[in-house]
Amino acid sequence: MNMIESVNTCLTKYFTFDGVASRSEFWWFQLFYTVVCILGIVLDGNSVDYAGISEAGYFEIIFTLIFLTPAIAVGCRRLHEINKSGWWQLIAITIIGLIPLIYWYCSPGFSSKQNKYE
């Protein structure tokens, strides 16, 4: 799956939290989401003063809110791929919780293992 297919899939499954998502679908959408958020920061002109104390700009807030739900949904579907609940995304609230979450996002899913042995 390439980036365009991944973004199209994630945006058509905007509120779909059931099902599975492949690693490529998840990571391509995360890359797209990061680029869009950085674009919002640049359009707001906050890129120079972003390390300091500044308020988030309008473009940054709008882009983040538009793509936050599909990002959570594809993360949930990715965790379903490895037989975990989508609620496990909540462990990312702590920095230490990011370690197992990133490991799970990177691990191969059961459907890809199943296809490999068929």
What residue spans define the domains of the chain? 3-117
pLDDT tens sequence for the chain (118 residues): 888 999 999 999 999 899 999 999 999 999 999 999 989 888 887 655 555 666 777 888 899 999 999 999 999 999 999 999 999 999 999 889 999 999 999 998 876 555 443 3
Residue type, 81: E
pLDDT at site 116: 40
Cα 12 to Cα 4, 17, 65, 111, 112, distances in angstroms: 12, 12, 16, 22, 22
pLDDT at site 52: 61
What does the block give as tokens for 92? 């990312």
pLDDT at site 118: 34
